[in-house]
Chain A
Amino acid sequence: SQQGEEDPQALSIQEGENATMNCSYKTSINNLQWYRQNSGRGLVHLILIRSNEREKHSGRLRVTLDTSKKSSSLLITASRAADTASYFCATDNQAGTALIFGKGTTLSVSS
């Protein structure tokens, strides 16, 4: 069953602009992870934020987590054409044994 749900489903921006993607989930979590997938290729881990953290940064990425609203956001600043990809949030299932992925946000960055 799906735990995380990304919003929007698709996002088109110009190079240099910021991109914000949101993820909502249903049950309490231990942590939340964001992954990137270039078309037809393997997923790449971007960032992991634990349930007791509110914000985390990695390069041009900023992730926030609001456990009271059961939501997270991924901000990519100063987007580049190379950021064009699908972005997935993943949370643990209720048993804590597996990662459950959302359907993803498809980001398109044009130059």
Chain B
Amino acid sequence: DSGVTQTPKHLITATGQRVTLRCSPRSGDLSVYWYQQSLDQGLQFLIQYYNGEERAKGNILERFSAQQFPDLHSELNLSSLELGDSALYFCASSVATGGPLYPQFFGPGTRLTVL
């Protein structure tokens, strides 16, 4: 158990809909990262927050947005969903910013299925 929690575990929704994925980092970790994992694209970095502020952006679509709240939990919002958004979404946390310089601790993921 990494100490990172994600809810929900599974999510099934329809095209055009909007969903929110939630992540709570390990106690003491200030950085939260979001990743998307699909069979064709592999594991793709989406976005990083550090202590409530956006720090780095990866391959995140404009239809996706995220935020980190004062209690350090984070939410990833996916809107106007398409079939191709079906994937595993992981949240990870680390003790500091400077993402690549520290180990990241991953949550169990949310499996999103768009029908």
Contact = CB atoms under 8 A, between A and B. Distances in A.
Contact of B106 (A29, A30, A44): A44
A7 to B, nearest CB: 15
A31 B101 contact: yes
B48 A101 contact: no
Nearest to B2: A42
Contact of B103 (A48, A98, A101): A48
Contact of B100 (A30, A35, A42, A44): A30
Contacts of A97: 48, 55-56, 99-100
B43 interface: yes
A74 to B, nearest CB: 15
Nearest to B108: A42
Interface residues of A, number: 28
Given A30-B101, A31-B101, A99-B99, A40 B48 contact: no
Given A40-B88, A43-B90, A93-B100, A99 B106 contact: no
A108 interface: no
B45 A41 contact: no
B109 interface: yes
Contact of B98 (A29, A44, A96): A96
Interface of B: 2, 4, 33, 35, 42-43, 45, 48, 55-56, 58, 88, 90, 92, 98-109, 111
Given A42-B90, A45-B103, A98-B99, 11 more contacts: A2-B42, A33-B100, A33-B103, A35-B106, A41-B109, A92-B99, A92-B100, A93-B45, A97-B99, A101-B45, A102-B42
